[in-house]
Amino acid sequence: MERLFNFIYTYRAFFTFLLLEFFCAWLIVENNQYQSTKYFNSSNRLVANLNGFSQSVREYFSLRDINTTLAKENALLRKKLEQRNLILYSMNLKQIRDTALFNRFDYVSAKVVNNSTKNYKNFITIDRGLDAGLKPGMAVISANQVVGKVKSVSNHFSVLISLLNVDNQVSAMNKRTGHFGTVQWSGVDPLSINLKYIPRHATPAVGDSIVTSGYNPIFPEGIFIGRIKEFNLNEHDPFFEIKVELGTDFTRLAFVEVIKSHLKAEKDSLEKKTIGEQK
């Protein structure tokens, strides 16, 4: 404190000069309309710029909360859209009366906290787990595109087996022709995947949309996987060799939605019982 007083005393003349300069400037602004107008216009512009900058900073740091809120809203809207489509379908057929079908899927939004794309077997970690009712085997999508399925869960986290995993297979269908097969990653290109078991009598074309077939109960039918980039058919092969350009960019994955299928257990139980009866 003593040093501060010594500093002020040493430069007292300079500080007195500054004080008088500010006082003179205030007198000029206070007693002259032109200078007063210019001063207040400039000060208002400066304050507006500072407020705009501070608002931009606040908005930037609130993006995470905004994205989380939007992801939750998307999950809710996706469920309502599916219920609406099923209602319209039932009205056309006039035969669906089971209300359980209208709630067969629930959607839980989650944030990606870890992700790999460079390995043969890639996994994704999200920030939702048992606390959100997630279980192994549940399907995962992002922006209505296939991401993978839940592999394991803890109280607050889940590990997903990515579509970019050589052990992961998803039942798929050519939306245009209706022929179904299986998509499986080759372990090479993170932007493409192989479509297998499309018979040689099919007529695939570059640009055809590949979607989930609905044969697997965890994925609703029609979830986008990608588009055919190239295909080949050898003379004696029973199936096409098809490469599909993925719709999901796994290198930029930030938010996902986990699909909770309420009818999966019933379907699995029935199939297991039927297969057991056939043995």
Query: Shortest CA distance to 220 belongs to which of 101, 94, 125?
Result: 101
| Cα gap 13→19, rounded to integer Å | 10
The string over 167-200, giving b where at least 16 C-beta atoms fall within 10 Å of a residue's C-beta and e elsewhere, is ebebbbbbbeeebbbbbbbeeeebbebbbebbee
Alpha carbon separation from 64 to 110, 115, 151, 173, 263 (Å, rounded): 12, 18, 26, 35, 33
Highest mean pLDDT: which of 139-143, 163-167, 263-267? 163-167
pLDDT (average), residues 9-36: 74
On the 0-12 / 13-18 / 19+ scale of CB atoms within 10 A, 108 is buried
Query: Shortest CA distance to 232 belongs to which of 185, 195, 193?
Result: 195
pLDDT (average), residues 199-212: 94
User: In which element (H, E) is residue 250 found?
Assistant: none
pLDDT at 257 over 50: yes
What pLDDT shows up at residue 36?
62
**pLDDT by residue (tens digit) across 73-98?**
666 566 555 555 544 444 444 444 44
**pLDDT by residue (tens digit) across 98-135?**
444 445 678 888 888 999 998 999 999 998 899 999 99
pLDDT at 245 over 90: yes
| Cα gap 190→102, rounded to integer Å | 35
| Cα gap 66→31, rounded to integer Å | 49
| CATH class given for the domain over 108-258 | mainly beta
Mean pLDDT taken over the chain: 79
Instruction: Report if pTM > 0.85.
Output: no
What pLDDT shows up at residue 24?
77
Pull the structure tokens for residue 115: 């992700």
pLDDT at 174 over 90: yes
